[in-house]
Amino acid sequence: MQITTETTVKNILEAYPDAVQVFQKHGVDVPSECDESILNIKLVICDSMCHVDNLDSLIRDLKKFVASK
């Protein structure tokens, strides 16, 4: 899976449910903070809605996580 700013949270978590840990590391508790409408939003937009401090860092860590699987 290629993770970019255009990837949705839902796409990532459907393919890699344990990736929720990566989001939590970046301050986003997906299960309790993100409803269905947010899950379908691209990371680039989710960045401003989900108080992600550093989108580039989140994407880098998600890529590392996916590569390790």
Mean pLDDT of 45-62: 84
pTM summary value: 0.85
The residue type of 24 is: Q
- 3-state SS assignment for residue 61: helix
Q: Over the stretch 3-47, which tens digit does the pLDDT of each residue have? A: 999 999 999 999 999 999 999 998 888 877 777 777 888 888 876
Structure confidence at residue 47 (pLDDT): 67
Residue 50's pLDDT band (cuts 50, 70, 90)? confident
